[in-house]
Chain A
Amino acid sequence: MTSSLLLPLLGGALIGLSASLLLLANGRVAGISGVVGALLAPVRGDIAWRVLFFAGLLGGGLLLAWLRPGSFPAPSAPSAGGVWLLAGAGLLVGFGSRLGNGCTSGHGVCGISRGSVRSISATLTFMATGVLTVFLVRHVL
């Protein structure tokens, strides 16, 4: 029981450490939707660090795939319905997180660490609709 919580805690601590490093070194908040989303409307002098953060995420993903492949789900055959569901989910995640100025990282970790009322409200909101969506999909539909 305790060992099954060790990895989530350690992983979480690394996320907190990463956010702290970005704040200390770059003076930036590690909110993924904002860091990466702003690349779609690039501003001169404000591009390199965003691209490199993104590259770091991908580099980390490669390291995980190499050293700890179980971090990712086993490949499965795509279905037509699954593709539309994924596309719709991606669209909602992108649109919603950008409109709401943050996602799980920006609001859920950085904002709550700061005690921001806006971030606490945002986090409670997306947790609630996430729980409701899973409830409807798994137990009602």
Chain B
Amino acid sequence: MRSSLSAFFSGLIFALGLGLAGMTDPANVLGFLDITGDWDYRLAFVMGGAIAVHAALRPLIHQRARPLFAARFPAFSASKPDAKLLVGSALFGVGWGLGGYCPGPALTALATGAFPLLVFVPAMFAGFYLAQVLQARSGAGAPRPEAPHAGAASAP
């Protein structure tokens, strides 16, 4: 129950942050990626602000033996960057540059019911699904591919 509440508020704060930052308007995102044109550098400060806060709080959080409502903190892949990571990221960047949406802002903007998101979000889920099928087939890991960030440990 409490873990559900914290997840909900985390999502809520995340979406508000994206909106205030300007990430939910693809025109801002494309302006940020257009470094050879009339470069809109403001979104660099979004990532900077997010990293500054999270990098400062992480060590404090990890002073605890375990999270508040879960058994353990996430484990991370210790492997070096591999082809899957780089090819996947490269394709993601192309899609990001074409549409101006990455997953968080797309799902936040979906709430408005605006037409572009009614096309983009189902296509994005189809992409999630294809990648999961591909990875399950290649047998490169667990049947359910898990982000290295989330580790194998699942909350009870």
Contact = CB atoms under 8 A, between A and B. Distances in A.
Interface residues of A, number: 114
B84 interface: yes
Contact of B95 (A7, A36, A75, A93): A93
Contacts, number: 525
Nearest to A7: B20
Interface residues of B, number: 121
A40 B132 contact: yes
A51 B130 CA distance: 20
Nearest to B34: A134
Nearest to A44: B154
Given A8-B43, A90-B123, A72 B146 contact: no
Contact of A100 (B33, B87, B101, B102): B87
Interface in A86-124: 86-114, 116-118, 121-123
B49 A13 contact: yes
B155 A89 contact: no
A71 B62 CA distance: 34
B137 interface: no
Which DSSP category, helix, strand, loop or mixed, fits chain A's interface? helix
Which DSSP category, helix, strand, loop or mixed, fits chain B's interface? helix
A107 B7 CA distance: 19
Interface string B136-154: 0000000111111110011
A7 B15 contact: no
B146 A68 contact: no
A86 B156 CA distance: 38
Contact of B154 (A7, A45, A103, A113): A45
A90 B7 contact: no
Nearest to A127: B93
A36 to B, nearest CB: 7
Interface in B81-134: 81, 84-99, 101-104, 106-112, 114-116, 119-132, 134
Nearest to B95: A92
A104 B104 contact: yes
B11 A64 contact: no
Interface of A: 4-5, 7-38, 40-41, 43, 45-46, 48-50, 52-65, 68, 71-73, 75, 78, 82-83, 85-114, 116-118, 121-123, 125-135, 137-139
14 contacts: A9-B49, A16-B54, A26-B10, A27-B74, A32-B107, A41-B144, A61-B24, A72-B24, A75-B114, A94-B103, A94-B130, A97-B89, A109-B47, A138-B30
